[in-house]
Amino acid sequence: MRVEILTKRDLEVAELSRRPGRISSRSRSRLRLYGGLAIAEALAILYGFFLAGQLYPPGIQPDQWLLSASTIMPLYAIVALNTRAYSAKVLRDFWSGVARALRALLIAGGLFLLIAFCLKATDSFSRVTLMLGFGVSALLIATARALCLRITERVLGEISYSVALIIDQDAEIPRGDHATVLHIGADFDLDSDSPAMFDWLARALEAADRVVVACPAARRQDWVRILKGANVRSEIYAPELEALAPLAMGNWRRLPTVIVADGPLNKLDQLVKRCFDFVVAAGALVVFAPLMLVVAIAIKLESPGPVFFVQTRIGQGNRMFRMLKFRSMRAERSDGHGHASTGRDDDRITRCGAIIRKTSIDELPQLINVLLGDMSIVGPRPHALGSRAGSRLFWEIDNRYWHRHAAKPGLTGLAQVRGYRGTTEQESDLTDRLQADLEYLNDWSIWKDVKILFMTFRVLVHRNAY
- Does residue 188 register a pLDDT over 80? no
- Does residue 426 register a pLDDT over 50? yes
Maximum C-alpha span of the chain = 92
Report d(CA 98, CA 419) in Å as an integer: 25
Q: Is 353 exposed, middle or buried (0-12, 13-18, 19+ CB in 10 A)?
A: buried
What's 113's DSSP letter?
Answer: H
Helix (H, G, I), strand (E, B) or coil at 389: strand
Residues 6+ positions from 59 with CB-CB distance below 8 Å? none
Give 59-107 pLDDT, tens digit per residue. 556 677 888 888 899 999 999 888 888 877 777 778 888 888 999 999 9
- The percentage of the chain sitting over the pLDDT mark of 70, rounded to a whole number, equals 82
Nearest Cα to Cα of residue 236 among 170, 180, 176, 171? 171
For the chain, the straight-line distance linking the first and the last C-alpha, in angstroms and rounded, comes to 71
**Hey, how many other C-beta atoms are within 10 angstroms of the C-beta on 270?**
14
pTM of the model: 0.52
Give 304-318 pLDDT, tens digit per residue. 889 999 989 999 888
Nearest Cα to Cα of residue 347 among 238, 189, 466, 446? 466
